Amino acid sequence: MDSVPSNSHGNLDEQIAQLMQCKPLSEQEMKSSRKILNLLDQCLTLMHIKQIQAHLTVSGTLSDSYAAAKIIAFCAAPDRNNLCHAHRLFCCLPYRTTYIWNIMIRSFTERNEPIRAFSVYNKMRENSFLPNNYTFSFLLNACADLSDFPLGLVIHGQAIRLGWELYDFVRVLCEKAKEIFMEESNVQPVKSPVTICGDIHGQFHDLAELFRIGGKCPDTNYLFMGDYVDRGYYSVETVTLRRIRINVVVFMALFEKGTLGHWLEGWVLLVALKVRYPQRITILRGNHESRQITQVYGFYDECLRKYGNANVWKIFTDLFDYFPLTALVESEIFCLHGGLSPSIETLDNIRNFDRVQEVPHEGPMCDLLWSDPDDRCGWGISPRGAGYTFGQDISEQFNHTNNLKLIARAHQLVMEGYNWGHEQKVVTIFSAPNYCYRCGNMASILEVDDCKGHTFIQFEPAPRRGEPDVTRRTPDYFL
């Protein structure tokens, strides 16, 4: 610990000494105990902490759970070196609360001592204290540190049995993801090797199949080009989790065990993966990551059905505004959801956008998410009602101007899962097999290796797991 001026020690010593002269259990003493707790923030040495602790012990104040929690939390804080002292004090307490148990579990987890965190948890259960949502959050982080997937399943099971249903986790998870997305560019640079994926559209079990075939994250780097929600029955599951505060370690355990069944409803995927492995997964915005579109094509209704209100839908759609619009793999492969725009000539034009907004009805940002390649040259009016069609002459000029070799995009159903266009200057990738559970198409992903070579992997739908009770079928539109 750094040295401090002696007069600083003296002033604090005098204040502590004066307060310790108070008689125990009197009203004056209780007031002085509150004052001495407020001196914690001024503590400079372990000696001062022990002086305060001694006063609280003599006065009987330390038997109060608030006072005990305050001094233990102070000693156990990550920026201090007094965790051992906090633990000794914790072990001597005559009365403990769940909050105090959680302080110790969290502190050992933050200090990368997951074994000790679980030791405290086991003693907590032995002493008949019930864990709460915070307890399970700290324990799941400890499971992640241990890479102990089976243990993560055990903790998850205990959380379910105790009935913890944590609505606010969605908000917390999205806030963490938002912080990451805010640091990313409109043209997010991506290194190879990477696996590029197209539309998912809420087909959660097929997304699990994609990870089985393409490799688990973080062992495989992924770039997703938008349209994670709408159409499929599991849009919520595709972007995040529901019912229980859990993290990627449990999903990976289920993935390894091959138990991704209906009971996986509400669990974690893309946003949680982004939060846990921000450098390993890139998530771009699609035209369906929009408030207006999701109110028509299924995601809004799904949130109402699974959560009973629109709050989760609002949290998700607010997060959509922060997704990057495009990505650039090794300065050669330009990735986006839709296509090009007559208002955009260079990548710098895109970098200068203010993307944090609802998808506009027209303009360059709209075009990036809605446009399609076409066999006809030049620009054309899109039959979708938004964006444009663009011909080979347009894509060749754009690639030449920006020193690109390939435009990779999603947005369109292609029966083989991928389709080359414009003399292999543009490729469409679609990763939702049997789209809408009735189109009969294959899906694919594009692997880009260290040498920038391209390999397509096609896959079929995962086995059907039944369908939830959906009262309103989403409307058809251009496939």
Compute the distance between CA of residue 15 and CA of residue 48 in angstroms, rounded to an integer: 11
Sign of CA dihedral 161, 163, 164, 166: positive
What letter represents residue 438's amino acid?
A: R
Burial label, 223 (beta-carbon count in 10 A; 0-12, 13-18, 19+): buried
Catalytic residue among 288, 337, 411, 422, which?
288
DSSP state of 30: H
Report residue 225 as tokens. 């080009």
Report residue 333 as tokens. 């492969």
Q: Please check whether residue 218 is in contact with residue 274, taking contact to mean a CB–CB distance below 8 angstroms.
A: no
User: How far apart, in Å, are the Cα atoms of 40 and each of 4, 23, 36, 344?
Assistant: 16, 21, 7, 58
User: How far apart, in Å, are the Cα atoms of 305 and each of 245, 298, 471?
Assistant: 20, 10, 9
Nearest Cα to Cα of residue 134 among 161, 104, 171: 104
DSSP state of 199: B
- Annotated catalytic, 156? no
Query: What residues does 447 pair with on adjacent strands?
Result: 195, 455
3-state helix/strand/coil string of 341-355: CCCCCCHHHHHCCCC
Burial label, 247 (beta-carbon count in 10 A; 0-12, 13-18, 19+): buried
Residue 67 belongs to what H/E stretch? Answer: helix 65-76
What are the strands, taking DSSP E only, across 364-430?
A: 372-373, 379-381, 388-390, 406-409, 418-421, 426-429
Residues 6+ apart with CB under 8 A from 326: 186, 187, 188, 284, 334, 335, 336, 347, 350, 368
Name the residues annotated as catalytic.
288
